[in-house]
Amino acid sequence: MRTQVGIVGAGPAGLVLARLLHRAGIDAVVLERRSRSYVESRVRAGVLEHGTAQLLDELGVGQRMRREGMEHRGIELRFGGAGHRIDLAALTGKTITVYGQQEVVKDLIAARLADDLPLHFEAEVTGVDGTVLEYRQNGVRHRLECDFVAGCDGSHGVARMALPDGALRTAERVHPYAWLGILARSPAAAEELVYAYHERGFALHSMRTPDITRLYLQVPPGTELADWPDARIWDELRTRLDLPLQEGEILERGVTAMRSFAVEPMRHDKLFLAGDAAHIVPPTGAKGMNLAVADVRVLAEALAAHYRDHTDELLDSYSATCLRRVWQVQRFSNWMTTMLHRHDGDDEFGHRVQLAELEYVTRSTAAATTLAENYVGLPR
């Protein structure tokens, strides 16, 4: 087989890229090693920046998001026993939309299949030889020849691993805490997302639907789920969030390590990396999926210029263009993480400094605007 762009991975990055390329008249084949049911049920982030939601509308896949998603005009920071609202809409004129990543993926998959475009599940890429993708599906080996390859297959995917030693520079930070997260059949206890700084550690109240909540607790790395029975989880959430939580069935639970990671450049010859294949950010700022979408918007425009205008200027600047945003998002995500988490070994001085930082952010219009501008999404 042959195509213009081979896309490895059917997550948000790969599927949005495929949609953008289709609208530009560029052929693409998407290869995903997992099954469709697995990809569509994989629970991930659920906060869409203003620009991400707008793009889904432009791509013709935003109808269900607008119908079922929840538009939020602000977020709340809780500390010192009180809540402090950051009015995103008033400060920036923009909002965020709470809509699960797996729902975005479902919408994009449905649209691609409805257009009868190539999307292969359980197609495991086993080799990347220049612009040739070798993959196995149903026990049969295939070769896909491409003009370009887009590696959108995550931080442990084959695309980045296929690059020669020394092709990339990496920067990484492992954070000294983890998140214990649950998905619960419980009505939301607040109308907007609540980020809580507490002397016992960070907590987050989010939601997926009005009746399904996503809740997180700061825990030490290496925490075992067996040490956290349901009663302990709910008690700790109530203590840290200070919200009238209604206990419900816990549908999913897990412990997530927190790290920051980036590679440079995000391109090697005709292979381009996007999304988690190129960078990981702490989840505190809700930026992972949004950053992946920002990458592929740049890549799609660059590929369109190559085929339409026969110029590679945008392809040549792809990495530098993306990395400017990547490092701004890394800065914001690390700032949010540091400000809101309790640090092991912190004395009373460190604790009071964090409280002062939070008070400044919530009392200063300039500081609140900085948070709001980053949270709703930096301009392109």
Residues with catalytic function: 72, 195, 283, 287, 375
Distance CA 375, CA 364 (A): 16
Cα gap 372→350, rounded to integer Å = 25
What DSSP state is assigned to residue 226? G
End-to-end CA distance of the chain: 35
The answer to whether the peptide bond before residue 265 is cis (omega within 30 degrees of 0) is yes
Q: Residue 294 corresponds to which tokens in the numbers above?
A: 């920002």
| Cβ neighbourhood burial of 188 (10 Å; 0-12, 13-18, 19+) | buried
Which of 217, 283, 222 lies closest to 250, judged by CA?
Answer: 217
Its sign, for the CA torsion 10, 11, 13, 18, is: positive
CB-CB contact of 54 with 143 (8 Å) = no
Q: Tell me how far apart the alpha carbons of residues 361 and 339 are, in angstroms, rounded to a whole number.
A: 10
CA distances from 24 to 38, 190, 209, 308 (A): 29, 42, 34, 9
